[in-house]
Structure 1
Amino acid sequence: MAMRTFGRHSILVRSASVLLASFFLAGALTIAATILVTGERQHKAATQHLEQLLDTVESTVSVACFVKDAQLADEVALGLLKNQEVLSVVIEADGADLVQRSQPGAPSGTATADYPHLSRDVYSPFNPGKRIGRIQVAANARAIQRATYDEVRFVILQTLGQLGLVALAVIAVMLIFIVRPIKAMSDGLHHLDATRGERLAVPTNHGDTEIGRLVQDINNLAGDLADTLGQERRLRLAKEVEERKYHSIFENAETGIFIAAQDGILNSWNPAFARLLGIPANSDFQGVLNIRQLAWENTSRVVELGLNARLDNVGVSDDLAIRPRGGNRR
């Protein structure tokens, strides 16, 4: 489960998902634009082709209409129908149909009126200003649609192939130049022991890149951490030495030494103080005895000294007499 979660959140998977989504969106927009542009271009190309066909047979149709030769007009119509883009042909002479021809299976007569068509007036070969007939060509919309579909399908496949190759190339580049070095850094960090002087290795060919600088920064931080830990260890050892010296002085001093809180509770005292005041050892009654409970001859003076030291935040001193039980005044 952890591996699956890591995979979903890896740089490669997330980057590839964004790239594929971007390419899919770009491909969809490209395909939509291709369908529109290709359809319009095919329609214009079909119209231009029909115009060129009419230009080619115009003189022959003019002769056929002038002499009212149905056989010649029929040959012209059959020649035009050899083009799949032509659905039907109607040639008129002096207002009467000279010939009507259409593709096999196509509607005949006025049923082709709903299809896109071109018509051109026919003039006399000897008097260009005299109209003697008309030729009408209906476009084969299905053939034009099939041609448009074939071209659109080719463009779609070409576009998808190009986008797929670009996506694979980008993902491969990311995997080789970004994901692998970062994964190597991550694996190295998991096993890195900075205190032992271990450092991350700079990935190959990334000495001067952002990844290389990141590795150098991590190594510098690891070095600073190791130095800080070493300094902290040295300070701790020095503190332990000083504490041992202090305890040695505190325990072996002939002068009575004690530490008291603000409320007068004795936190610590040395053996000399215990012998002087006739109290138990520090380890037995630490935090229990109050300085006012000791055998002072003038307890109020002790309280006063403590109060003055606390209020003025200065050291105070005085000679105080003690009178242990059953002992002499000292």
Structure 2
Amino acid sequence: MKILNKRIHIRVATGVATGAFLFSIFASITWFYISYHQEVDRSRSQIKQVITTIEQTASIAMYLGNKELAEEVLRGLEANDIISAARLTSQDGLSASFSGNSDLDQADTAIIFPIVSPFDENEFVGDLLVYPNQRYIENNAISLAKIQVIVLVFYSVIIALLTLIIVNRILTEPMKNIANRFHIITPGDTTRIEVPVGHKENEIGALVSDINGLLDAVNNQIDNERDLRSETENLSKKFRFIFERASAGIGLIDSGNQLIVANPALLRLLGQTFIVDTDRFSKTDFTGYFNDPAEIKEFIEEFWLKPGNQFSAMDIQLKHKVRAADRWVHCLFSKVEDINNPDDSLLEVVLYDITERAEREQNIIYEAEHDPITQLLNRRAGMAKLEVSLEEADKKQRKFAVLMIDLDGFKHVNDTYGHDAGDKVIIEVAKRIKQFFRGSDVVARWGGDEFLIGFSYNPNYETAVSDIASDLQFQIALPVEIGHEQTACVGSSIGISVYPDNDEAISALIEQADEAMYYVKNNGKNFFRFYQAEEATASANR
């Protein structure tokens, strides 16, 4: 660091010298004026003193009319340098004078002294005109004034030098040393400024003490900031470690649904495995990673409208990859609001891979809704789907048929070949039945050897149900391999009810199909029959 030079010393010296110079000029002019006028006044006073000494002799010369004596008096005046000319004039006409080198016509500068009688003070005997030697007096006054001015300037210079030395010794030099010492101390340095000798109890000592105190405070602040920075860095490393090593995917989404920050787990979940460094990740449309972008977009838009910093979650399926299994994630959203700039608020999203859980849940739901042997809908699930399918058919103005199927001869297969063979027959019949229907149709195992079918059809296709029932009976009647090069055959009794011809309630339609099926069972089996109202009456009579 640059050490201070002597600029402050020079500035102090310049200030003192300038002050002394200005003071000297002002004092010299003033002193010159005063000295000049004092010297002029003193010269006039001397002239009066000289006149006083010769006044008695001049009075006698004027009284006696003695010109020689008068001239003698004038010669005495002529010997004095401060008098350039003089003239004695009596009342009787006596006149004597001398003019030296001066002009006696300078009446405006003459000093008139009246001469009184030597015997009577009230009697004037003549006048004495004295012409001061103005040039001599002025030169003499100027010379004397110059000498005094020179002395004054000399005194001023001496005083200025002494003042400069004293100020430099007492103030400037210690301050310069303090400043130089202060400027070589770097932040965090334990070195402190020493108090100059003799200044421990004055303002300089207090200044040094305050500077040292300030340096201590700065060092403490630096230490605190260093510790805080170290803690912040350690905390940042921990958060960074957590962010990068977290098993859950973590990211930030802006108001435009752009994913702007993502940790490696989130990138892996979203299939961005080619991005190794998260810093290289460029923002992308977050909703585009899901199988149903509209669903996640609508969810996010609704979440933005919620007041406060709430949490919201949803389970959603990720977009399919080529030849990849379905993947499900649990998305947890929370707002990261900027109070000063609400428009810059973000959404924090945490994603958990719940594919295994979703699969387990789906398996549980599937097992709860499906028959374990045939994998068809069980009675409870079939009933629920029938109600939904009937509502859909009503909305689309389509007819809806309910078929109740009971296998003929199935008990004989079980008793003859065993339950394993019976299961094989049930499974094969279920496959044959299922191949006739769409995914939206209802195919359920209603009981041991009973199946329930529900499907909608175009009301203009009047033979649709009969055709399907006929084909079903044909397929069901085909032999079924039960192992060991053996086959088994079963028939089918089918009861049919139709919405809205027979009824509008699904429970009633099922009951009607069941009654029609029992009519077939009781009347020769192995054919199908539509529900007839008289059958219900006959059944009731029985």
Give the TM-score band, short-chain normalised. 0.7 to 0.9
Instruction: Kindly state the Cα deviation for residue 195 of structure 1 after the two structures are TM-superposed.
Output: 1.0
Is structure 2 residue 250 aligned with structure 1 residue 258?
yes
Which deviates the most, 299-308 or 161-170? 299-308
Residue in structure 2 matched with residue 38 of structure 1 by the alignment = 35
Amino acid at match of 2:294: S
Instruction: Kindly state the Cα deviation for residue 152 of structure 1 after the two structures are TM-superposed.
Output: 0.3
Amino acid at match of 2:317: A
Residue in structure 2 matched with residue 70 of structure 1 by the alignment = 67
Amino acid at match of 1:47: R
Tell which has more relative contact order, 1 or 2 (C-alpha 8 A, sep 6+). 1
Is structure 2 residue 284 aligned with structure 1 residue 292?
no
Residue in structure 2 matched with residue 48 of structure 1 by the alignment = 45
Instruction: Kindly state the Cα deviation for residue 140 of structure 1 after the two structures are TM-superposed.
Output: 1.4
- Cα distance in 2 for residues equivalent to 1:252 and 1:128: 134
Structure 1: runs of 5+ lacking an equivalent: none
Please give the secondary structure, in 2, of the residue aligned with 1:265.
Answer: strand
- Cα distance in 2 for residues equivalent to 1:230 and 1:97: 111
Amino acid at match of 1:230: D
Residue in structure 1 matched with residue 382 of structure 2 by the alignment = none
Is structure 2 residue 231 aligned with structure 1 residue 238?
yes
CA contact (8 A) 1:68 1:98 kept: no
**Structure 1 residues 114 and 28, CA, compared in 2 at 3 Å: closer, same or farther?**
farther
Amino acid at match of 1:181: P
Residue in structure 2 matched with residue 107 of structure 1 by the alignment = 102
Please give the secondary structure, in 1, of the residue aligned with 2:316.
Answer: coil
- Cα distance in 1 for residues equivalent to 2:138 and 2:77: 19
Residue in structure 2 matched with residue 328 of structure 1 by the alignment = 325
CA contact (8 A) 1:266 1:290 kept: no
Residue in structure 1 matched with residue 80 of structure 2 by the alignment = 83
TM-score w.r.t. the length of structure 2 is 0.53
Of 297, 300, 309, which aligns to 1:303?
A: 297
Amino acid at match of 1:229: I
CA contact (8 A) 1:46 1:144 kept: yes
Structure 1 residues 102-141: aligned runs within 5 Å: 102-103=99-100, 106-107=101-102, 110-111=104-105, 113-114=106-107, 116-141=109-134
1:209-231 deviations in whole A, cap 9, x for unaligned? 33333333332332222222222
Instruction: Kindly state the Cα deviation for residue 328 of structure 1 after the two structures are TM-superposed.
Output: 3.3
Amino acid at match of 2:282: G
Amino acid at match of 1:293: G
Structure 1 residues 198-237: aligned runs within 5 Å: 198-237=191-230
Instruction: Kindly state the Cα deviation for residue 163 of structure 1 after the two structures are TM-superposed.
Output: 1.1
Structure holding more strand per residue: 2
Of 114, 129, 146, which aligns to 2:139?
A: 146
- Cα distance in 1 for residues equivalent to 2:87 and 2:27: 40
Structure 2: runs of 5+ lacking an equivalent: 327-354, 356-542
Residue in structure 2 matched with residue 161 of structure 1 by the alignment = 154
Alignment RMSD:
2.9
TM-score w.r.t. the length of structure 1 is 0.83
CA contact (8 A) 2:258 2:283 kept: no
Residue in structure 2 matched with residue 314 of structure 1 by the alignment = 310
**Structure 1 residues 316 and 76, CA, compared in 2 at 3 Å: closer, same or farther?**
same
Please give the secondary structure, in 1, of the residue aligned with 2:188.
Answer: helix
Of 272, 278, 284, which aligns to 1:279?
A: 272
Please give the secondary structure, in 1, of the residue aligned with 2:276.
Answer: helix
- Cα distance in 1 for residues equivalent to 2:243 and 2:52: 124
Please give the secondary structure, in 2, of the residue aligned with 1:204.
Answer: coil
- Cα distance in 2 for residues equivalent to 1:253 and 1:169: 79
CA contact (8 A) 1:115 1:139 kept: no
Residue in structure 1 matched with residue 57 of structure 2 by the alignment = 60
CA contact (8 A) 2:65 2:92 kept: no
- Cα distance in 2 for residues equivalent to 1:138 and 1:247: 112
CA contact (8 A) 1:65 1:93 kept: yes
Amino acid at match of 1:173: I
Instruction: Kindly state the Cα deviation for residue 95 of structure 1 after the two structures are TM-superposed.
Output: 4.5
Computing the radius of gyration over CA atoms, which structure comes out larger, 1 or 2? 2
Instruction: Kindly state the Cα deviation for residue 160 of structure 1 after the two structures are TM-superposed.
Output: 0.4
Amino acid at match of 1:163: S
CA contact (8 A) 2:264 2:276 kept: no
Please give the secondary structure, in 2, of the residue aligned with 1:318.
Answer: strand
Instruction: Kindly state the Cα deviation for residue 253 of structure 1 after the two structures are TM-superposed.
Output: 3.8
1:290-327 deviations in whole A, cap 9, x for unaligned? 32222x34333322343344443322112223353223
